[in-house]
């Protein structure tokens, strides 16, 4: 017991002493750590020493480094928020892109199923019931642009977003408390001078040197202040902060901004984008303002890309213009600055261009459908937007189209399907998809004619489709529709069906020529060994063979002596689905017949007296061939 009591007495005597000693040691250690923090900067780049030629003061030496640190951190934060905003916009684009992809794929798959069904129905139709059945000059429908490559191209912007993330860029560190003049003098006695320096000359130029920048030493030209105004301290420090961050990012991610002004434009654009993305999704009333602000952000990023000659920035600017539905500028950037794209990105750039051009068409058609106008406004908007596609412009060039800007309109009678409700020709436009094969066929050919020449006034003369064999009609129905078309004053008639081999057609075509009308028919899509019209009938009408834009025969095209060749391969048109419009590509001699009709339209516009047989002879005479067994390419007849 005595031993236990002695231990207790000893503990009671020393525990207070140990507690006091522990508190004293803790206080000393804390004071020492804080003293170190006061006089030694945290990890990171040492703040540069500032000197202003002719006006450096102790206060300026203290104030400018702190201001530089604040500006540097602000710019980093703005850039980080911009990187996050780019990612969010990419995710939104991905959702819309997948919807576009599904819409187009559904049209292509539906066309394939319809083609298989039509061929099966035609084969199963009893010959005794339909001995003279005619079919559409079936076209091959496919998607245009490679959407898989478009998706891959946009993934490159995700890499850019990662590259401009500033999380691993160290801050510029300075002491955490103000130092009095005595302490500052004592510390300067023992501390080595900073290896980073900034010298400002007459407030117009700044020399930066030291390991804080990649170059080691550089002279910056500062912005010129407004007349009569003096540059503020922030305006002096801001370019230096931009250049330091630009230098660090270029070292980290191989992105060369080329100068502090490019960095500034990029950060301002990224900050604007972040602000737009952080706000609630705009409603219809606010969408115009939201898009205008997005355009401003895109313009800033484009300015940075041009100054830095950096393709990734320009690709981002194009993407932002697309998000603002400004497809003209989105296309312009990818086209104008093509030489800045690396060789590995050229295919992606071309795919993006095709995609944006198709999106521009879809946007124009969607905008026209919203108000549901009458008078053919939607049809005109569709054709005009298609006419801006390179594929259509190449066809126009090959056939010498587009040379009569002020010519009078020429009627074209199209014997095919009904007037598409979404065209809004004879009633307010309704976005109703076409169900019948013949109706869809007529819509495709009408768009082709009107896109190739704005002078074409397409008039629809529907022919009944056989219920038992979709895509097929019988001769009597075709003759009835043709007779109605002949009663109109249209000098050009498109009859896009075949085969037309019976002798009755010889008398019909002779009658048409006597009435000074010209019928254009497709040669057929059975290949060069067979045709859908006889040589005798071909002399009484104008037969269209199909060529590609390079002037060579399309592999599917039939060959008929005395015929003319027009582009019928890979021509774009718009299909309206329940989900909205989409652009697809069709091929066939029916499309070639539509292109040949456009040539005839502009020939008549130049020479209104050319009709019937005289028009046919003039077109045949104007056609050109590069040699024997080569296609005779139709061209607009130009009077001498």
Query: What sections of 40-57 are H helices per DSSP?
Result: none
More confident residue, 114 or 609: 609
Domain around 381: 374-622
Closest C-alpha among 457, 328, 450, 460 to residue 401 = 450
> Whole-angstrom Cα distance, residue 337 to residue 42?
44
Percentage of the chain exceeding pLDDT 70 = 79
Sign of the dihedral defined by the CA atoms of residues 123, 124, 127, 130, in that order: negative
Q: Does any domain span residue 540? A: yes
Q: Is the pLDDT of residue 65 over 90?
A: no
The neighbour count for residue 310, using CB atoms within 10 Å, is 21
Q: CA dihedral in degrees (519, 613, 617, 522; nearest 10)?
A: 10
Q: Is the pLDDT of residue 176 over 70?
A: no
Q: Does any domain span residue 205? A: no
Confidence of residue 449 (pLDDT cuts 50, 70, 90): very high
Sign of the dihedral defined by the CA atoms of residues 210, 213, 219, 224, in that order: negative
Q: Which of 88-92, 138-142, 492-496, 619-623 has the lowest mean pLDDT?
A: 138-142
Q: What is the pLDDT of residues 180-216, one digit of tens each?
A: 454 555 555 555 556 788 888 766 788 888 888 878 8
User: Residue range 578-597: average pLDDT?
Assistant: 92
Q: Does any domain span residue 225? A: no
Q: Does any domain span residue 109? A: no
pLDDT at position 86 is 81
CB within 8 Å of 43: residues ≥ 6 apart = 170, 173
More confident residue, 215 or 409: 409
**For the chain, the helix, strand and coil percentages under 3-state DSSP, each to the nearest 5:** 55, 15, 30
Q: Does any domain span residue 512? A: yes
pLDDT at position 546 is 95
Quote the radius of gyration of the chain (alpha carbons, Å).
37
Closest C-alpha among 177, 180, 213, 184 to residue 197 = 213
Q: Is the pLDDT of residue 395 over 60?
A: yes
Q: Does any domain span residue 381? A: yes
User: Residue range 270-280: average pLDDT?
Assistant: 81
> Whole-angstrom Cα distance, residue 537 to residue 184?
105
Q: Does any domain span residue 342? A: no
Sign of the dihedral defined by the CA atoms of residues 372, 374, 375, 379, in that order: positive
Percentage of the chain exceeding pLDDT 90 = 35
CATH of the domain at 596: 3.40.50.200
User: Residue range 516-524: average pLDDT?
Assistant: 93
- DSSP string covering 331-354: HHHHHHTGGGS-GGGHHHHHHHHH
More confident residue, 236 or 162: 236
What is the residue-averaged pLDDT of the chain? Answer: 81
> Whole-angstrom Cα distance, residue 206 to residue 2?
82
Q: Which of 320-329, 467-476, 550-559 has the lowest mean pLDDT?
A: 467-476
Sign of the dihedral defined by the CA atoms of residues 312, 317, 320, 325, in that order: negative
Q: What is the pLDDT of residues 625-635, one digit of tens each?
A: 876 678 999 99
Given a contact cutoff of 8 angstroms between Cβ atoms, the answer to whether 272 and 300 are in contact is yes
Q: Is the pLDDT of residue 381 over 50?
A: yes
> Whole-angstrom Cα distance, residue 100 to residue 105?
9
Confidence of residue 498 (pLDDT cuts 50, 70, 90): confident
Q: Is the pLDDT of residue 97 over 90?
A: no
User: Residue range 614-618: average pLDDT?
Assistant: 95
pLDDT at position 383 is 96
More confident residue, 63 or 338: 338
pLDDT at position 310 is 87
At 282, phi and psi to the nearest 5?
-70, 145
Q: Structurally, how many domains does the chain consist of?
A: 1
Q: Is the pLDDT of residue 299 over 90?
A: yes
> Whole-angstrom Cα distance, residue 21 to residue 28?
11
User: Residue range 505-514: average pLDDT?
Assistant: 90
User: Residue range 565-578: average pLDDT?
Assistant: 92
pLDDT at position 178 is 44
Highest mean pLDDT among 58-67, 346-355, 406-415, 595-604: 595-604
Q: Does any domain span residue 436? A: yes
Given a contact cutoff of 8 angstroms between Cβ atoms, the answer to whether 440 and 575 are in contact is yes
Instruction: Measure Cα distances from 216 to 46, 52, 206, 247 in Å.
Output: 14, 20, 14, 10
Q: Which of 55-69, 119-133, 335-349, 418-432 has the lowest mean pLDDT?
A: 119-133
The neighbour count for residue 481, using CB atoms within 10 Å, is 21
Helices 58-124 and 311-323 sit at what angle, rounded to 10 degrees?
60
User: Residue range 465-483: average pLDDT?
Assistant: 83
Q: Which of 84-88, 261-265, 461-465 has the lowest mean pLDDT?
A: 84-88
Confidence of residue 120 (pLDDT cuts 50, 70, 90): very low
């Amino acid at each position: 017991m005595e031993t236990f009591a002695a231990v207790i007495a000893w503990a009671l005597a020393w525990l207070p002493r140990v507690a006091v000693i522990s508190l004293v040691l803790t206080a000393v250690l804390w004071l020492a750590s804080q003293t170190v923090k006061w006089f030694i900067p945290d990890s990171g780049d040492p703040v540069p020493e500032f000197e202003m030629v002719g006006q450096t003061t102790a206060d300026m030496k203290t104030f400018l480094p702190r201001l530089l640190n604040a500006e540097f951190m602000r710019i980093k934060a703005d850039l980080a928020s911009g990187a996050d905003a780019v990612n969010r916009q990419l995710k939104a684009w991905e959702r819309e892109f997948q919807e576009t992809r599904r819409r187009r794929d559904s049209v292509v798959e539906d066309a394939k199923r319809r083609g298989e069904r039509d061929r099966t129905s035609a084969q199963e139709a009893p010959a005794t019931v339909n001995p003279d059945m005619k079919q559409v000059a079936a076209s091959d429908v496919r998607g245009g642009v490679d959407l898989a490559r478009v998706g891959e191209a946009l993934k490159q912007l995700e890499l850019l977003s990662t590259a401009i993330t500033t999380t691993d860029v160290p801050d510029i560190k300075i002491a955490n408390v103000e130092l009095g003049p005595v302490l500052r003098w004592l510390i300067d006695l023992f501390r080595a001078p900073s290896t980073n320096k900034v010298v400002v000359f007459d407030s117009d130029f700044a020399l930066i040197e030291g390991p804080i920048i990649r170059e080691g030493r550089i002279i910056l030209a500062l912005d010129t202040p407004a007349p009569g105004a003096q540059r503020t301290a922030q305006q002096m420090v801001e370019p230096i902060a931009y250049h330091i961050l630009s230098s660090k990012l270029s070292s980290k991610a191989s992105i060369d901004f080329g100068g502090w002004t490019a960095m500034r434009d990029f950060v301002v654009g990224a900050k604007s984008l972040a602000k737009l993305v952080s706000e609630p999704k705009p409603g219809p009333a606010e969408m115009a303002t939201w898009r205008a602000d997005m355009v401003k952000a895109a313009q800033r990023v484009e300015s940075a890309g041009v100054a830095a000659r950096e393709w990734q920035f320009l690709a981002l600017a194009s993407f932002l213009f697309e998000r603002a539905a400004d497809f003209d500028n989105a296309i312009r950037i990818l086209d104008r600055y093509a030489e800045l794209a690396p060789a590995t990105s050229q295919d992606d750039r071309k795919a993006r261009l095709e995609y944006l051009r198709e999106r521009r068409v879809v946007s124009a058609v969607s905008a026209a459908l919203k108000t549901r106008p009458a008078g053919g406004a939607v049809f005109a908007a569709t054709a005009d937007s298609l006419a801006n596609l390179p594929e259509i412009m190449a066809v126009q060039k090959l056939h010498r189209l587009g040379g009569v800007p002020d010519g009078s309109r020429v009627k074209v009678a199209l014997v095919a399907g009904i007037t598409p409700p979404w065209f809004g020709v004879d009633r307010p436009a309704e976005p109703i998809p076409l169900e019948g094969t013949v109706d869809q066929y007529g819509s495709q050919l009408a768009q082709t004619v009107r896109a190739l020449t704005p002078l074409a006034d397409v008039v629809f003369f529907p022919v009944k489709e056989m219920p038992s064999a979709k895509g097929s009609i019988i001769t009597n129905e075709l003759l009835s529709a043709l007779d109605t078309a002949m009663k109109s004053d249209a000098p050009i008639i498109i009859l896009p069906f075949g085969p037309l081999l019976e002798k009755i057609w010889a008398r019909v075509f002779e009658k048409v020529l006597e009435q000074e009308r010209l019928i254009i028919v497709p040669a057929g899509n059975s290949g060069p060994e067979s045709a859908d019209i006889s040589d005798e009938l071909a002399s009484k009408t104008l037969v269209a063979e199909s060529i590609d834009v390079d002037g060579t025969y399309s592999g599917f095209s039939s060959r008929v002596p005395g015929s003319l060749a027009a582009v019928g391969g890979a021509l774009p048109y718009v299909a309206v689905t329940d989900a909205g419009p989409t652009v697809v590509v069709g091929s066939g001699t029916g499309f070639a017949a539509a292109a040949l009709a456009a040539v005839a339209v502009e020939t008549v516009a130049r020479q209104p007296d050319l009709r019937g047989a005289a028009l046919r002879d003039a077109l045949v005479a104007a056609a050109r061939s590069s040699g024997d067994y080569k296609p005779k390419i139709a061209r607009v007849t130009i009077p001498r």
